[in-house]
Amino acid sequence: GAGVSQSPSNKVTEKGKDVELRCDPISGHTALYWYRQRLGQGLEFLIYFQGNSAPDKSGLPSDRFSAERTGESVSTLTIQRTQQEDSAVYLCASSRDGNTDTQYFGPGTRLTVL
Partner 1 sequence: AQSVTQPDIHITVSEGASLELRCNYSYGATPYLFWYVQSPGQGLQLLLKYFSGDTLVQGIKGFEAEFKRSQSSFNLRKPSVHWSDAAEYFCAVALTSGTYKYIFGTGTRLKVLA
84: contact with partner 1 by CB under 8 A: no
Of 106, 58, 113, give the one whose Cα is nearest residue 87: 113
The whole-angstrom separation of Cα 45 and Cα 64 is 16
**Counting contacts by CB under 8 A, is residue 102 touching partner 1?**
yes
Nearer to partner 1, 84 or 100 (CB): 100
d(C-alpha 41, C-alpha 82), whole Å: 20
Q: Which of residues 29-48 bind partner 1 (CB under 8 A)?
A: 31, 33, 35, 41-45, 48
User: Which of 2, 52, 58, 70 is close enough to bind partner 1 by CB under 8 A?
Assistant: 58
Query: Is the alpha carbon torsion for 41, 42, 48, 50 positive or negative?
Result: positive
The answer to whether residue 106 forms part of the interface with partner 1 (CB under 8 A) is yes
Single-letter amino acid code for the residue at 99: N
Beta bridge partners, 88, equal 111
Q: Rounded to an integer, what distance in angstroms lies between the CA atom of residue 96 and that of residue 111? A: 27
Among 64, 74, 107, 110, binds partner 1 (CB under 8 A): 107
Q: If binding is defined by CB under 8 A, does position 20 make contact with partner 1?
A: no
Could you list the residues that contact partner 1 (CB under 8 A)?
A: 4, 31, 33, 35, 41-45, 48, 50, 56, 58-59, 91, 93, 98-100, 102-103, 105-108
